[in-house]
Amino acid sequence: MNLKPLFFIGKRLASMALIVVGVVIILFFLLHLAPGNPAQILAGFQATPEVVHQIEVKYGLDKPLYVQLMTYLTNMIRLDLGTSIMSQRPVTDEIMARLPNSLMLATVAIVEAIAISLPLGVLAAAKAGSRFDAAVTAFTSIGVALPTFWTGLMLMLLFAVELHLLPAGGIGGPQNFILPSITMAVPISAPIIRVTRNAALEVLEKPFVKLAIAKGLSMREVLMKHVLKNALIPAVTLIGLQFGVLIRSAVITETVFAWPGIGKLLVDSIFARDYPLVQGTVFVIAIIYVAINLALDVAYVVIDPRLRSGVSTEWRF
């Protein structure tokens, strides 16, 4: 039995764990070296020093930083992320209550983005140089440049406030997904179209496609059978690389549409100086990021056996 793929995955798992620990440590210092005493902020500015000290003791803020860090890291390994200061509920509960909402919204947005981008990208390549191609290409530059809060607010003003067609925010039925998911899909679809178009242009030049055309296959069949399939891999890769964009639009979109997801949770917890909740939320975001990348790496190894020799894909674009 060939054990190489297993070694490969094991190695990636180990580096994944290291990255997450690194994230936790950097975040810890970012939070704890910030100016201002969190206990004072929690207690309110009129609070007596005794009250502030009680809070420091309660949250372990009176201990030296490295002790606090070690405590946090050991608790983290046991998946104990502490208690939220705002709600006094376990951080894991708070996150688990919101995470599915974010994942659902992001999934709908990604599916929409792919459903729009793949056909547009392939068609633009098939009609390279045409007006349609120029319009699609222009959209790829414009789509990424629209501020997410603005796209969201414009959609909200038009479809919720003016036309009363869709809810302005909150979570509920499928109609609540429409505006926020479109808002999130716009910035991710633009680069997917670009990459799909480029990949499709390359595939259209390949001998097997020319042969298929020469064989008398209709353009439609060629595009569906050969071009779309080959353009899919770079498009999927891009979604892993677009994670930062996705998180940015999730944070803003969830705030615009009062969507109870982890993006909004993160913003709320930072403003409330709820350090355990901030740490927990960012920890979960980092885990999702490394997990997506691990999944992509495994997918590449499955798709392209040449990578099984252990060549690192870490630096790919």
- Site residues (CB under 8 A) for other proteins? 15, 18-20, 22-23, 26-27, 30-31, 34-36, 134, 137-138, 140-142, 144-150, 153-154, 157, 161, 194, 198, 243-244, 247-248, 251-252, 255, 266-267, 270-271, 273, 278, 282, 285-286, 289-290, 314-315, 317
**199-to-18, 95, 192, 301 alpha-carbon distances in Å:** 34, 38, 10, 20
Of the pair 57, 134, the CB lying nearest other proteins is at 134
Tell me the closest approach of the beta carbon of residue 174 to other proteins, in angstroms.
25
Of the pair 197, 226, the CB lying nearest other proteins is at 197
Tell me the closest approach of the beta carbon of residue 297 to other proteins, in angstroms.
12
Tell me the closest approach of the beta carbon of residue 137 to other proteins, in angstroms.
7
Secondary structure percentages of the chain, helix, strand, coil, to 5: 75, 0, 25
Tell me the closest approach of the beta carbon of residue 247 to other proteins, in angstroms.
4
Can you tell me the distance from the alpha carbon of 89 to that of 75, in angstroms, rounded to the nearest whole number?
16
Of the pair 190, 227, the CB lying nearest other proteins is at 190
3-state secondary structure of 64: coil
Of the pair 210, 316, the CB lying nearest other proteins is at 316
Asked if residue 149 lies in contact with residue 256, where contact means CB atoms within 8 angstroms, the answer is yes
At CA 74, angle to CA 72 and CA 264, rounded to 5? Answer: 45
- Can you state the angle between helices 91-126 and 175-205, rounded to 10 degrees? 40
Helix, strand counts (H, E) of the chain: 14, 0
Tell me the closest approach of the beta carbon of residue 64 to other proteins, in angstroms.
20
The DSSP annotation for 278-311 comes to: HHHHHHHHHHHHHHHHHHHHHHHHHH-GGGGG--
DSSP at 170: S
Can you tell me the distance from the alpha carbon of 184 to that of 252, in angstroms, rounded to the nearest whole number?
9
Of the pair 148, 181, the CB lying nearest other proteins is at 148
Tell me the closest approach of the beta carbon of residue 19 to other proteins, in angstroms.
5
Of the pair 173, 244, the CB lying nearest other proteins is at 244
